[in-house]
Amino acid sequence: MTSAEAASDRLLIRDLAQVATADGRSAPLRGASLREVAVIENAYVLCEGGHIAAVGATADLPALPADVTEIDGRGLSAIPGLVDCHTHACFAGDRVGEFALRAAGATYEELHAAGGGILSTVRATRSAGEQGLAAALARHRQWMLASGTTAFEAKSGYGLDRETELAQLRVVRAAGGVPTWLGAHALPPEFSERGADEYVDFLIQEVLPDASEVAEAADVFVERGAFDVPQARRYLTACLQAGLALRLHGDQFTELGAIDLAVELGARSVDHLEATGANGIATLASSDVVGVLLPASALFLGRPMPPARALVDAGAAVALATDFNPGSAFCESLPLVCALACTQLGLSPEEALVASTVNAAHVLARADRKGRIAPGFDADIVLLEAEDWRYLAYHLAGPVVHTVVEGGRIAWGSRA
Ligand code: NIG
Ligand code: FE
């Protein structure tokens, strides 16, 4: 790390070509406000005590005390630290062998039905131990940071037994992530005879009391071969009563009614939506549930993209996330997701930025302090290797992230 990570708790980034951030303070943003990005040219950002103290034109920079660490922002632009509100980053092992099988024609569903897929990661995660999991997540966390992610959510769901589910949640929390309990991700082998209803009983009776102490939200995979709507309703209702916020994996392959259930239960989000049709779009748009779009997953599996443009035009609040996991989206890069949003989902760079900052922070109940470069917000900032911030989405898979500031300190990058 460089000398810029010195003792001073004041950090000044000056002479930036641009600072781009969502306007205003409200969240989530939808409709026309999803496009309201304020851009300040020739700008500075001053951080103090881990928070943004001021942002403005460098020409208006006030006199500052001597103990300020400075970053020369010439040639760079700044956006808020990216917020990844949907990942499965706490996993052991990989699925590169399955990836090769898929490249040769096997489908994700076929691999899952044959006992591979999610269950293959469950085997690796169960045998990793809590320390092994922490090491794996630390490695993944570094990849995410290098891609500009300063706040992340990560789900359990690769334990599917009491000890490993709880270990995953603890590891996510210890790494500074937002833990989501995805106990209802798949049916573990020891329940294959007894079935999903009994597994849901087990989750509610044996795991929820402790999971609700560590997790902030619960999630369920509503899909053929995973959990149906009545099972999901039972699981989520118990989780809600235990104080957890609710999320759903819905409409990934099949429209089974996940959006209706999300609205019925007042969920924070319903995520995936690749199979969502006109009724689902209308229902989501007239609700407070955020639609979390995961285009890297659709790309990685060669599946249809979610109807993002229709959702936004109908007035839905949408967020973007990676879905980072070893099987359906081995991709930690939100800049790549923003590129997919603009090239595949019909969103503008402004909509992509707001969806991966403010609206993603809202899904994690942190929009009051994350997702904007504004006084009082956490000093989480990404400096892009470009004078125009829209390179975030434009430079497809390029080295667009120059420096990442987290809590007012350089967390990743080079130039001081
Ligand atoms: O969001 N669809 C369910 N769960 C994950 C994939 C998990 C895996 O394949 O390991 C998803 O795509
Ligand atoms: Fe997912």
Q: HEC string of the chain?
A: CCHHHCCCCEEEEEEEEEEEEECCCCCCCCHHHHHCEEEEEEEEEEEECCEEEEEEEHHHCCCCCCCCEEEECCCCEEEECEEECCCCCCCCCCCHHHHHHHHCCCCHHHHHHCCCCHHHHHHHHHCCHHHHHHHHHHHHHHHHHHCCEEEEEEECCCCCCHHHHHHHHHHHHHCCCEEEEEEECCCCHHHCCCCHHHHHHHHHHHHHHHHHHHCCEEEEEECCCCECHHHHHHHHHHHHHCCCEEEEEECCCCCCCHHHHHHHHCCCEEEECCCCCHHHHHHHHCCCCEEEECHHHHHHHCCCCCCHHHHHHHCCCEEECCCCECCCECCCCHHHHHHHHHHCCCCCHHHHHHHCCHHHHHHCCCCCCCCCCCCCCECCEEEECCCCCCHHHHCCCCCCEEEEEECCEEEEECCC
Atom 9 in ligand 1: residue holding the nearest Cα = 327
Ligand in closest contact with the CA of 90: 1
What distance in Å separates the CA atoms of residue 62 and residue 129, rounded to the nearest whole number? 52
Atom 12 in ligand 1: residue holding the nearest Cα = 328
What distance in Å separates the CA atoms of residue 196 and residue 186, rounded to the nearest whole number? 9
Spatial contact of 15 and 42, defined as CB atoms under 8 Å apart: yes
Q: What is the radius of gyration, based on Cα positions, of the chain? A: 21
- One-letter identity of residue 145: L
Distance 273 CA to ligand 1 centre (A): 13
CA dihedral 171, 151, 284, 303 (to 10 degrees): -80
Structure tokens at 267: 């969920």
Distance 271 CA to ligand 2 centre (A): 7
Q: pLDDT at position 8, please?
A: 67
**Mutational pocket test of ligand 1: of 88, 221, 247, 270, the residue with most ligand atoms within 8 Å of the beta carbon:** 88
- One-letter identity of residue 225: G
Closest atom of ligand 1 to CA, residue 329: 12
Atom 6 in ligand 1: residue holding the nearest Cα = 328
Distance 88 CA to ligand 2 centre (A): 6
**Residue pointed to by tokens 């169960």:** 126
pLDDT tens digits for 148-173?
999 999 999 999 999 999 999 999 99
Burial zone of 397 (CB within 10 Å; 0-12 exposed, 13-18 middle, 19+ buried): exposed
What distance in Å separates the CA atoms of residue 271 and residue 292, rounded to the nearest whole number? 4
Q: pLDDT at position 416, please?
A: 45
Ligand in closest contact with the CA of 250: 1
Atom 1 in ligand 1: residue holding the nearest Cα = 323
Q: Ligand 1 pocket by C-beta < 6 Å: which residues?
A: 88, 117-118, 121, 221, 249, 252, 297, 323, 325-328
Distance 328 CA to ligand 1 centre (A): 6
Cis peptide before 28 (omega within 30 of 0): yes
Burial zone of 127 (CB within 10 Å; 0-12 exposed, 13-18 middle, 19+ buried): exposed
**Mutational pocket test of ligand 1: of 123, 227, 249, the residue with most ligand atoms within 8 Å of the beta carbon:** 249
pLDDT tens digits for 121-148?
999 999 999 999 999 999 999 999 999 9
* 176: region left, alpha or beta (phi > 0 left; psi from -120 to 50 alpha): left
Distance 118 CA to ligand 1 centre (A): 7
Q: pLDDT at position 2, please?
A: 43
Atom 5 in ligand 1: residue holding the nearest Cα = 328
| Greatest CA separation for the chain | 71
**Mutational pocket test of ligand 1: of 247, 325, 330, 331, the residue with most ligand atoms within 8 Å of the beta carbon:** 325
How many other CB atoms are found less than 10 A from the CB of residue 17?
18
Distance 294 CA to ligand 1 centre (A): 11
**Residue pointed to by tokens 């930036």:** 16
Residue ranges of the chain with per-residue pLDDT less than 70: 1-8, 414-416
Q: pLDDT at position 6, please?
A: 45
> Which residues are paired to 38 by β-bridges?
21
